[in-house]
Structure 1
């Protein structure tokens, strides 16, 4: 790198001169950097808009799905019985009496200090589940820990744990892997062949062993005490499809019939419609905020209008108009205002929950259909902008990103060009100082030579 010699001979501030010249040389690069920064800001803003459009699309698609607004609530006349609904439910009620809760089988063996042997090896044991399937288990040793590990690793329908029984002995407690009658099991000392042959030892046959809790299903009766009485069973304490799309869970046996009532979830459906309006407003407000023209000042301090980053962007304006139209256009010949969705003079929407609830109560099917149709239109409009492959905003982002990469490459090229130009200027001014210094040295030598010449005297 050429080293500048500041004013050594000329007295000039050559570094300042070079910097001034380089500022002029760098004007094209400065313009590129300004454009790059503007592009990066625009890309960031468009990406934020795209995120909002994607959220709007996802919410709208969910709201337009079949049965998405088929929401119901289920209430029970008893605290020990609760009910849940799905979109397959319909309004109605039913009485049922819970007569039995589900139980998970628990067995405990007689107390033992170690597991018995058979022919010198740890005796095998066999678990038989409710279907008759046998699982033969071979413990690694006679330690009860070995037996517990072997049972749990076998996945034979029961899990084991050893429980202290005093005097250094333990019981094996075996718990069914599933609740209800389907979880019933028996456990034997012996192989599966011994079980089949009737020679295996039932571990519960010992007088000090016990079935602590038997396997049983939960039971409930519909229309109890009538000729139409119908018994429901469940391996858990939850009865599925007591009514279409309605499941009932019991925590206690009931003394009499419990009434389950299913009704349309007006607040829940209203919230879905309100969320749609809120999400649309989120997109419209974002576009409005970044398209607004504000007041700024010029270099002389005078007030001038300042455009927003999205002002005049035709792609963004088109997406904004599509989303606006999707929610404001009539649906089935009716204005959205009839369902509480009102457009304002500012270009966004308000939602009248009371009016929507009234419309929903008066004609549930029509109100739900209208909201779903609006949601479908909004989803299409949002997707037209946000689709990662064909969306107009996504495509605009890709185009700007490509331009940004090109600007970055051009700025890098200018870095090299300017570095070369600076080196050239530094070399020129350094050489000038060296030449000027040489001339000054010659001048000083000549002056010395002249002053050393003898002076000619003049006579009178």
Structure 2
């Protein structure tokens, strides 16, 4: 059980109050450690946030640079239109040059389908046959045997057909009337080779199976009616490769003209995203390099969360700003301002889309070269700043975290020293109190003895 010391009961000397006042003065020295720890922690947080923004900037810059591995290239952005969207729709990507072509859609790809005869069963869960049986389903020119067990119901038959991957067909049970059903088989894919044939024990499903529709390819004709007429086909509704970078989706027979154009708006949007990401990083530095005028009026505890002025004069912040703005100032090899990208007098990066579009219209290759070079430099700058091993911001974050840890250790040692000192002072002043108490007791006894002697002398007279 711990002990409780109460001093000054006899002497009126409050040892606890004296020790508390002395320790309050001693602990003032610890405020420096606490403030330094708070400042280092806040600076680490600012650098971490800035690191994330610079990484996002690098990602936006990388998206502008053509990547041969992933085959992504914003400079191949293209637009395509069909004059008759009821006949066909189109999409385009990576066109070599604007073009147009009139095509006639002759047929649209469809899946082959067949229908069985009437199957006399009470309901879908009635067994079809009392003995094992099988069907031979031909799709894509290849026959597939599907076996059924005695007692398989109509629903079970449909399920087994649907689950047979080689058959590549969907089976649907159709009710004709009470006590009579049919089985429809439809190819899961389209194309002329999906015209279905069904053989085997067809008597189990109502006798001969008849064709509902034959499978068909999409057939598109170019130069219809001319000596140069030719046709192309596809097993699906989509025809690729007829025009470079263009995909045609046939909807119904008819004629349409397909027009393709480059899409500078899509390219400009990516460039704008890169500029916005760079500005977000620069803005973060500017915000944390200004002093909040209300900081002096902050309520208790606000200093710990207010990052006002933390980056004033900070060399890492200055390095980040210079690394980014230098890219957009450009060099003799690439001048971003020529394609609408520049840095204004306040340090904000601007993007003039109209100027970009005008330059791109005059010389697409030159614009692509300039913007790509700028984006690559910005991506490289981002990597140098945020690299997990030796990035400038990474080093700054690690440095502040190390400082926080050091101050945390200092604070613990300081608290240990203060606890030991308080214990020493408490012991010393309790000893002083006991000594004063003893002296008071002796003084009271001596005063009593003198009083008794005086009384005795007075009585003898």
User: Is 2:418 aligned against 1:411?
Assistant: no
User: Is 2:336 aligned against 1:329?
Assistant: no
Question: How far 1:449 sits from its partner (Å)?
Answer: 4.7
Give, in whole Å, the separation in 2 of the partners of 1:290 and 1:443.
Answer: 69
User: Any idea what the Cα deviations from partners look like across 1:102-161, whole Å, max 9, x if unmatched?
Assistant: 2123333333324544xx544233433314152534458422232233223322311333
Q: State how 1:8-47 maps to structure 2 within 5 Å.
A: 8-47=9-48
**Structure 1 equivalent of residue 172 of structure 2:** 161
**Worse overlay, 438-447 or 123-132:** 438-447
User: Any idea what the Cα deviations from partners look like across 1:233-263, whole Å, max 9, x if unmatched?
Assistant: 2222211122111101122221x3x111111
> Gapped runs of 5+ residues in structure 1?
190-199, 300-305
Give, in whole Å, the separation in 2 of the partners of 1:87 and 1:422.
Answer: 78
**Structure 1 equivalent of residue 242 of structure 2:** 242
Q: State how 1:225-240 maps to structure 2 within 5 Å.
A: 225-240=225-240
Query: Is contact 1:109–1:203 with CA below 8 Å preserved after alignment?
Result: no
Question: How far 1:294 sits from its partner (Å)?
Answer: 5.9
User: Is 2:160 aligned against 1:150?
Assistant: yes
Query: Is contact 2:91–2:248 with CA below 8 Å preserved after alignment?
Result: yes
Change (3 A) 1:297 1:400: closer
Query: Is contact 2:118–2:206 with CA below 8 Å preserved after alignment?
Result: no
User: Is 2:150 aligned against 1:172?
Assistant: no
TM-score by length of 2: 0.85
Change (3 A) 1:180 1:445: farther
**Structure 1 equivalent of residue 339 of structure 2:** 339
Query: Is contact 1:4–1:427 with CA below 8 Å preserved after alignment?
Result: no
Query: Is contact 1:3–1:430 with CA below 8 Å preserved after alignment?
Result: no
Query: Is contact 1:139–1:147 with CA below 8 Å preserved after alignment?
Result: no
Give, in whole Å, the separation in 2 of the partners of 1:297 and 1:88.
Answer: 57
Give, in whole Å, the separation in 2 of the partners of 1:336 and 1:322.
Answer: 15
Q: State how 1:203-352 maps to structure 2 within 5 Å.
A: 206=207, 209-254=209-254, 256=255, 258-292=256-290, 308-330=309-331, 332=333, 335-352=335-352
Query: Is contact 1:18–1:426 with CA below 8 Å preserved after alignment?
Result: yes
Give, in whole Å, the separation in 2 of the partners of 1:64 and 1:44.
Answer: 31
Question: How far 1:12 sits from its partner (Å)?
Answer: 4.0
Change (3 A) 1:49 1:447: same
Secondary structure at 1:136 match in 2: strand
* Number of corresponding residues: 438
Secondary structure at 1:347 match in 2: coil
Give, in whole Å, the separation in 1 of the partners of 2:60 and 2:76.
Answer: 16
Change (3 A) 1:349 1:457: closer
Question: How far 1:178 sits from its partner (Å)?
Answer: 1.8
User: Is 2:85 aligned against 1:79?
Assistant: yes
Query: Is contact 2:158–2:171 with CA below 8 Å preserved after alignment?
Result: yes
**Structure 2 equivalent of residue 62 of structure 1:** 63
Give, in whole Å, the separation in 2 of the partners of 1:6 and 1:369.
Answer: 85
Q: State how 1:358-369 maps to structure 2 within 5 Å.
A: 358-369=358-369
Give, in whole Å, the separation in 1 of the partners of 2:151 and 2:428.
Answer: 94
Secondary structure at 2:117 match in 1: coil
> Gapped runs of 5+ residues in structure 2?
68-72, 298-306
Give, in whole Å, the separation in 2 of the partners of 1:169 and 1:412.
Answer: 88
CA RMSD of the aligned region, Å?
3.0
